[in-house]
Structures are given as C-alpha cells and as structure tokens.
C-alpha cells in the first residue's frame, strides 16, 4: 500500500448550530489526486481548510507525512506553526486566483519563494521556469488584469508549485472558467502535481473535472457519504 501523505480522523467543526464537518475520516496517498464533491453548503471548503491547516477543527486530527521520516500533527500546531507549514509545504489555488493585481505574473509567483527566504534573483529564475512550463512564456511582465482568466489561473498554479509544495489544495480552481479553459487549467494542475509525485486535493462541482482525478470523495451534511476510484 502506498503511504498516506494526509491522514484525517474524526474531524468535526461546527459554526454555531451548523455542523460543517460531522466526523470525517480520510486518508490521502502521496501522488494521488482527490476530488471533493457535494452540494453547496455540504462542507467541502471547510474540509479542505481543515486538511490544509487553515481552520482548526473542534475535534479530530490531521496529520501530514511528507516522507517516511515522520508525521507532522497539523492539528497540534499553533497558528504561527500552521502558517509556516502552509507557506513552506502546501500550495493553494482558489476559484479567483487571489493573485496580487499590482504585481506582474512573475512577481506574483516569485513572491511565494521570497516569503520562504529565497533571494529575489533565484525566486524570479524559478518563477520564470514554472511560467514557461505552464505555457506563459512572454507574459511574465504582464499584470494580472492583463491576463485571461485561464492564464491567471495558470499563474496561480505556478505560484502554488514554486515552493516545491508536497500537497496542492485547490477550491473550485475551474469554477469561473469555460469548459475549454477549464480543461487547460486541469492539464496544468495535474501535470504540475501528480505527474511530479505531488498530491492534489481539489473541490469541484464539475463532474468532468472530478473524472480526471484518481478518486472522488462525496460529502453530504459534513460527512463523506461515498468514494469512487476513477479507472
Ligand atoms: N465561517 C463560517 N461561519 C459560519 N458558518 C460557516 C462558516 N463557514 C462555513 N459555514 C457553514 O458551514 C457549512 C459548510 O460550508 P462550506 O463552505 O464548507 O460548504 P461548501 O460545501 O464549500 O459549499 P459551496 O459549494 O457553496 O462552496 C455551510 O452551512 C456554511 O454556511
Ligand atoms: Mg466551498
């Protein structure tokens, strides 16, 4: 059996009287791509945020095991440690890329490494290589507003990869795109993660996006109600 990179047990999270997570167990293997599906309000984003150490659960545990050397108990870390873990080990792609509009494409990507202490020169070198691999050569100096939606999402994907993230978390990364652009963004996302041995965890409403992932997990009322492995 392949080793788990993320292991979650008994996750519960309530917002007032809403049980966003009602007891979730989930193991994610290294190199897997997992699609989380379910109706609006079912708890998908909450689950993604708890797995990624953005939100603390009320109870339950999340452990991150980047290698056989040992596991990091995400749910035992304080806020500062979790923020460092996210910055250094995880990558994030959201529906709206959350890129900085005042910065150019290359600056947006380079910033992620610079926050981890990489020099500007080295960071821009790496950022340029990722942008080129993702089909954005020649667009490095454009500001985000000067790119199409699909191009901006590929900048966000480059930014999520540049730090060497072991796990990339994406919340409806194709939610704002047409189907052709969505296919291109999924190509970029899968190529830059699973084909390099990294792990992808994404939330989507789109069955054709989920079908490209190795496994689909369906959430209802804060619980995983079914799982399907894609052939
Ligand atoms: N910060 C919050 N404060 C209060 N309630 C929240 C908060 N975040 C989520 N919820 C509630 O928890 C439930 C699950 O929300 P979540 O965002 O995880 O759903 P989702 O499956 O991602 O939905 P969508 O498909 O609409 O994005 C919802 O009922 C939501 O209203
Ligand atoms: Mg959501």
Helices (H), 90-225: 105-114, 120-133, 149-161, 179-192, 207-210
- Residue with the smallest CA separation from ligand 1 atom 4 is 15
Does any ligand 1 atom lie closer than 6 A to the CB of residue 43?
Answer: yes
Per-residue model confidence as pLDDT tens for the chain (231 residues): 468 999 999 999 999 999 999 999 999 999 999 999 999 999 999 999 999 999 999 999 999 998 777 899 999 999 999 999 999 999 998 877 688 989 999 999 999 899 888 999 999 999 999 999 889 999 999 999 999 988 998 999 999 888 889 999 999 988 888 888 889 889 989 988 998 889 999 999 999 999 999 999 999 999 999 999 986
The model scores a pTM over 0.85: yes
For ligand 1, pick from 13, 35, 41, 222 the residue to mutate: most ligand atoms within 8 Å of CB: 41
Tokens representing residue 130 in the block: 């990722």
Contact 172, 186 (CB under 8 A): no
Distance 125 CA to ligand 2 centre (A): 34
- Residue with the smallest CA separation from ligand 1 atom 29 is 41
Does any ligand 1 atom lie closer than 6 A to the CB of residue 44?
Answer: yes
Neighbours of 12 (CB within 10 A): 16
Sheet strands (E) in the chain: 4-15, 18-29, 33-37, 59-67, 70-73, 90-94, 167-171, 199-203, 215-220, 223-229
């Amino acid at each position: 059996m392949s080793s788990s990179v993320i292991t979650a047990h008994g996750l519960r999270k309530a917002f007032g009287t809403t049980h966003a997570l009602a007891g979730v167990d989930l193991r994610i293997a290294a190199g897997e791509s997992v699609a989380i599906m379910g109706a609006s309000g079912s708890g998908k984003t909450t689950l993604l945020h708890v797995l990624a150490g953005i939100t603390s659960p009320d109870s339950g545990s999340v452990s991150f095991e980047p290698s056989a050397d040992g596991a990091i108990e995400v749910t035992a870390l304080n806020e500062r440690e979790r923020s460092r873990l996210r910055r250094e080990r995880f990558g994030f792609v959201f529906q709206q890329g959350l890129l900085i509009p005042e910065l150019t494409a290359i600056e947006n990507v380079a910033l992620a490494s610079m926050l981890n202490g990489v020099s500007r020169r080295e960071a821009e070198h790496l950022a340029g290589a990722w942008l080129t691999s993702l089909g954005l050569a020649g667009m490095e100096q454009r500001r985000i507003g000067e790119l199409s939606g699909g191009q901006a999402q590929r900048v966000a994907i480059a930014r999520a990869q540049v730090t060497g993230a072991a796990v990339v978390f994406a919340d409806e990364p194709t939610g704002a795109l047409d189907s052709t652009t969505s296919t291109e963004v999924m190509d970029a996302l899968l190529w830059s993660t699973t084909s390099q041995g990294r792990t992808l965890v994404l939330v989507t409403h789109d069955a054709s996006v989920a079908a490209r992932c190795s496994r689909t997990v369906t959430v209802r009322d804060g619980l995983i109600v079914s799982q399907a492995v894609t052939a």
